[in-house]
Amino acid sequence: MFSPSRFRDLVSGRRSGLGAALLRSVLRLAEAPYCLAVRVRNYCYDVGLAKTHRVPVPVISVGNLSLGGTGKSPMVEWLVRWFRECGVPVAVISRGYGAQTGGPAGGNNDEALELRQKLPEVPHFQSPDRVGAAQRALQQTGCRLIVLDDAFQHRRIGRDLDLVMLDALEPFGFGHVFPRGTLREPISGLRRAQVVVLARADMAEPALRDEIRRKVALYAPYAVWAEAAHAPRVLRSAGGSEQPIQSLAGQPVIGFCGVGNPAGFRHTLDVCGYRVVDFREFADHYQYTRADMESLAAWADRTDAAAVLCTQKDLVKLEVDRLGGRPLWAVTVGLEFLAGRDALEATLHGLLRDR
């Protein structure tokens, strides 16, 4: 089983050698039928062979082209707060990938638990049947707008706005659809987007951001373009206490995460000014076991780290304040726009006027 970074090293070509080249060839063969299935499915929706179900309130989809780690959750949070400031009651709907039914999370996955902490007053429905979830949201909450989390490829429910997140670290999935690359569908799928937001834009030089924007314009020339950074906010414990990000600046720390793109979290730790002495990766939406927690605690005790750091999505599943003899903190992040916020807000205002 490849770790997220090892998989990316392979499909990006950073891993060299005859064995790696042969494995990429095998993955390329597996890519063809997957890509064909995606194209056929999209064609069926494009020509009306597959039915799209609409609901009587505006629907915004936040999604991406690639596998995980593009900053959808901070974007969902930003949208929900923006609409609530406009006086619009919002419900969030997601598929619930990685949820453990009957577990301590009550059937909610890490993203739902994270949003519940950040937006406790906002109803969040999880179901693979997002049409049914939307109908329940309307009946039970009286919401006037629905935000779909991770739904760009879930076309069964109609939407009024498709917002696509691209990660500046790997915006186009190394040019291939999974499993040869990290794309969920070909780049041409961007034609369906009305808004494209480049996440972690602060990690890319202006020339690279311009290059990405030009490539997006080939497929979505009329889409609103915005650029955003994932800005660290505070350190938060499982018990709810907080301390400033700067409180650990310059100190040795160890970090771990179970997210789609671990490089993004590692970059966040560097931005905070921490001295990262060791780092571990787990699969996206990883469900930590007791054995994992014991291993992490032993790992922490073997270091001279001042603290153990993880993402908020990891912390909501661990629910402990310490690992071994070290305090455990989540680095919380929020979305900060570097460009395009005015154009995005104008689009959102237009959505409310039209409906």
Q: Tokens in use for 182?
A: 């990290």
Share above pLDDT 90 across residues of the chain, in percent, rounded to a whole number: 80
pLDDT exceeds cutoff 50 at 31:
yes
- Res 117: pLDDT: 82
The string of DSSP letters for 255-284 reads EEE-SS-HHHHHHHHHHTT-EEEEEEE--T
- Res 100: pLDDT: 52
In DSSP terms, 308 is beta-bridged to 254, 328
* 113 backbone dihedrals φ, ψ, rounded to 5°: -65, -40
pLDDT exceeds cutoff 60 at 116:
yes
Distance CA(174)–CA(65), nearest Å, equals: 12
pLDDT exceeds cutoff 70 at 2:
no
Distance CA(2)–CA(326), nearest Å, equals: 28
- Res 102: pLDDT: 42
pLDDT exceeds cutoff 50 at 155:
yes
- Res 260: pLDDT: 81
pLDDT band, residue 86 (cuts 50/70/90): very high
Distance CA(19)–CA(77), nearest Å, equals: 43
Distance CA(72)–CA(82), nearest Å, equals: 15
- Res 344: pLDDT: 98
Distance CA(292)–CA(215), nearest Å, equals: 42
- Res 207: pLDDT: 96
pLDDT exceeds cutoff 50 at 101:
no
pLDDT exceeds cutoff 90 at 343:
yes
Mean pLDDT confidence for 79-90: 96
| Tens digits of residue pLDDT in 254-280 | 999 998 888 889 989 999 999 999 999
Q: Tokens in use for 202?
A: 């602060």
The string of DSSP letters for 205-245 reads -HHHHHHHHHHHHHH-TTSEEEEEEEEEEEEE-TTS-EEEG
- Res 125: pLDDT: 94
- Res 108: pLDDT: 64
Instruction: Measure the CA angle with vertex 112, ends 7 and 341; round to 5°.
Output: 80
- Res 113: pLDDT: 81
| Tens digits of residue pLDDT in 212-256 | 999 999 999 999 999 999 899 999 999 999 999 999 999 999 999
More confident residue, 264 or 299: 299
pLDDT exceeds cutoff 60 at 106:
no
What mean pLDDT, rounded, does the chain reach?
Answer: 92
pLDDT exceeds cutoff 60 at 98:
no
pLDDT exceeds cutoff 70 at 188:
yes
Q: Tokens in use for 157?
A: 């429910």
Angle between helices 341-354 and 72-85 (to 10 degrees): 60
Within its chain, how far is the Cα of 21 from the centroid?
Answer: 29
Scored b (16 or more CB within 10 A) or e, 296-318 reads bbebbeeeebbbbbbbbbbbbbb
Residue type, 135: Q
Residues 6 or more apart whose Cβ sits within 8 Å of residue 171: 66, 198, 212, 215
Mean pLDDT confidence for 92-104: 64
At 157, is the secondary structure helix, strand, or coil? strand
Distance CA(98)–CA(109), nearest Å, equals: 6
Residue type, 344: L
Domains in the chain, ordered, with CATH?
59-230+336-354 (3.40.50.300), 231-334 (3.40.50)
Residue type, 103: G
Distance CA(135)–CA(321), nearest Å, equals: 38
